[in-house]
Amino acid sequence: MAKDCRYYVAESVRLYSQETWRVFTQTRRVQRIHKVVDFYISQSQAANHAVREAACICTAELGTNVNKDCLRPYC
């Protein structure tokens, strides 16, 4: 999975990434949610503080926007 740039400082990168995420979630639904969660977990342990912060924001967003049953294995 490519680096999550939905919160990147450069607006053009951020907007492109947000649109890509929107398309991904509309077309793939939750079939690959485990890969997303595993990626966010790995990024929450990154050396760079900005990457860790973005991973935490993304994880919180996932928890509020994705069906809870899909996330139950991670609770």
- 6 located within any domain: no
Long-range Cβ pairs for the range 29-35 (8 Å, 24+): 30/66, 30/67, 30/70, 33/66, 33/70, 33/71, 34/73, 35/1
54 has a pLDDT exceeding 50? yes
Hey, what amino acid is at 22?
A: R
Burial class from Cβ neighbours inside 10 Å (0-12, 13-18, 19+) for residue 28 reads exposed
In a domain, 1, yes or no: no
In a domain, 4, yes or no: no
Structural domain count of the chain: 1
Q: Is residue 69 part of a domain?
A: yes
User: In this structure, is residue 43 part of a structural domain?
Assistant: yes
What contacts 5, CB < 8 A, 6 or more positions away? 13, 14, 16, 17
- Total-model pTM: 0.64
pLDDT score recorded for residue 23: 77
The domain containing residue 25 runs over which residues?
A: 11-74
